[in-house]
Structure formats: C-alpha cells, structure tokens
Amino acid sequence: MPYGTSDYLRDTAVVDVTTTNTGANGQLTGKAAVVVLGVAGGGAAPAGTSTDPSFTAGYGFDVTTTLATTNGAYAAGDVMGGYLEFTVANINDAPVMIMGLQVVFKAAVQPNLRAVFFGAAPSALLADNDPYTLTATNALLVRKSLSSVSLGASYTSHGTPKSISLTPNPFVMKPYSGGKKIGVYIIDDSGVTLTSTADMQVRVSGLGA
C-alpha cells in the first residue's frame, strides 16, 4: 500500500535510501520509503473509535485499588468495599481482555469470594457491607461472574496477610464511562471480620483486545 494512503500509517518514519548501480545503463538513483507503524498509544486515535491496530497492539494493564472496608464483621453474601471502578482502556471504547483478578488481605482471613464484572455501572450502587443483590434491569449489565470456589482458587499465606488470584479463561469486555472503565463487585461468601478500614487491595490485569 503506498505511503500516505492509509489512516493506519500514523507516527511513521520515512527513510530515504539512495542506491547506486553500475550497469549497462550507468547510474540509477532511487528512493525507498520505510514505514514504521506507530506503537500502542503512540498517537491520538479518532474519538470514539478503536479500529486502528497501530494504537491497540501490545497494550496491557495492571491496576489496583485499596478498598474502604469495614473495620469489623461481614455477613456471608455482603459486598466488600462497595462498587469498584478500574480505568483499563488506553483508547475510548477499545475492548479489553481480562486475564485475572487478585485480592490481598492484610488480615488473616481467607473468605470464599465472588467477583462480578459489569459492562456499565448499575443504576443503584451497593455500598460496603450491603447484601449483594441486583434488580432485573441491572442484572442485564453483568458481563462475567467469577467464583473462587468454582475456579478452585486457593490462598497464599504471606505470614499474616493472605492473597488469592481468580484466573479465569480470558474474556473480552468493552469498557464504559468515557470508554475506559470497567466495574466490579467483590462479594464475601463466607462472612469474615477485618481489622482496619484499609485491609483489602484488589488488582485487575489484562490486555488490549
């Protein structure tokens, strides 16, 4: 494809090469254009689009949040930390592939957990320590539900702190809220007691799809 004819050829480098050939026709001088596609995030993609592969290839994310948790008891089925939002996309509306979710507790607790991913924010958000429930309308926003029990995930002990990773088959979802965020509820299916209001960290990792 000739240089300059594609929207995909942004952030390019063009190198002029002069060649000298000695043959029956004497010297021949020509130019060759070497085109290098932009790396991920190397330029401004059109607003609201994600069709340019030069802006998405090779992109990855690894984002964390420390939850505002209850210094005290949860009942089985309670939300931990309220509704969590993670900024994961590098381009508005670009889909992402979720590779895994990790939870770290400072306290010596090992609850069975669920993680529910949303493709849009529910209309009525649950707070920390609320029983997990959704209206029929909000249930249609669920993109994926993970369970530590069904995944066979186990805790790693780091002395007192404990960590667990929920690593499903990777799944693709489209961010929202300006095209860059995903939402998650973490649900305690055991009923544990935490010892501070910052006892818990959640990490989400994945790739640009």
For residue 135, is pLDDT > 50?
yes
For residue 35, is pLDDT > 90?
no
pLDDT band at 24 (very low <50, low <70, confident <90, very high): low
For residue 160, is pLDDT > 70?
yes
pLDDT band at 48 (very low <50, low <70, confident <90, very high): very low
pLDDT of residue 25: 53
pLDDT of residue 164: 97
pLDDT band at 20 (very low <50, low <70, confident <90, very high): very low
pLDDT of residue 73: 96
Distance of CA 51 to the CA centre of its chain: 18
The pLDDT tens digits of the residues spanning 92-107 come to 878 999 999 999 999 9
Give CA separation, 134 vs 122, 129, 131, 141, 185, in Å.
8, 15, 10, 10, 11
pLDDT of residue 177: 75
pLDDT band at 178 (very low <50, low <70, confident <90, very high): confident
Question: What's the one-letter identity of residue 103?
Answer: V
The whole model's pTM is what?
Answer: 0.73
Phi, psi of 113 (to 5 degrees): -125, 150
Greater pLDDT, 18 or 162 = 162
For residue 117, is pLDDT > 70?
yes
pLDDT of residue 42: 45
Which residues lie across from 65 on neighbouring strands? 202
Q: Give CA–CA dist 148/76, Å, rounded.
A: 14
Phi, psi of 150 (to 5 degrees): -70, -30
